[in-house]
Amino acid sequence: MSGMPIPEFIRDLRRSVGHDLLWMPAVTAVVVDASSVLLVRRADNGRWAPITGILDPGEQPAVCAVREVLEETCVVARVQRLVAVNACEPVTHANGDRAQYLDLTFRCAYVSGEAAVGDDESLEVRWFALDDLPAMTAQLRTRVEQALPVDGEVLFTR
């Protein structure tokens, strides 16, 4: 989630806590359509990734996943299932802010819209064949692979 625009509520909180470690709920939306997956090339590091974002206060996680997909890719998606829940390792962002994310990964189905860059978080948005995914971090590739089955048990790190 490094390098993403900072939500206003986090900016307000950071004025009080500075760069101290914050625990934040986040989502990963893996949008699938037939034999392809929607990915974004992130503006902060140039790498391909599924859609990610931080929940707004009081926001339901599945609602956040759909919102982030629309904001970042101009695509309307529908959540099909919760795929995995994972406490990520702490990270230090370029500005010195420390964060640790509780990621909820969702499999989402494409509903409508033409994939396009929707905000300044991405350089590019593209559909990729499931058997021809671009290079991405191992953690993000795992999230995509875990989300490919239409159904399955929610995966918890033990």
Cα–Cα distance measured from residue 116 to residue 23, given in angstroms and rounded to the nearest whole number: 31
Instruction: Kindly report, residue by residue over 67-104, the tens digit of the pLDDT.
Output: 999 999 999 999 999 999 999 999 998 889 999 999 99
Instruction: Kindly report, residue by residue over 100-151, the tens digit of the pLDDT.
Output: 999 999 999 999 999 999 998 899 999 999 999 999 999 999 999 999 998 9
Does the structure show a pLDDT above 50 at 25?
Answer: yes
Residue 4's pLDDT band (cuts 50, 70, 90): low
Residue ranges in the chain assigned as alpha helix (H) = 8-17, 61-73, 138-147
- 8-143 has which fold? Nucleoside Triphosphate Pyrophosphohydrolase (3.90.79)
Q: Which pLDDT score, from 0 to 100, does residue 1 have? A: 47
Question: pTM score, two decimals?
Answer: 0.89
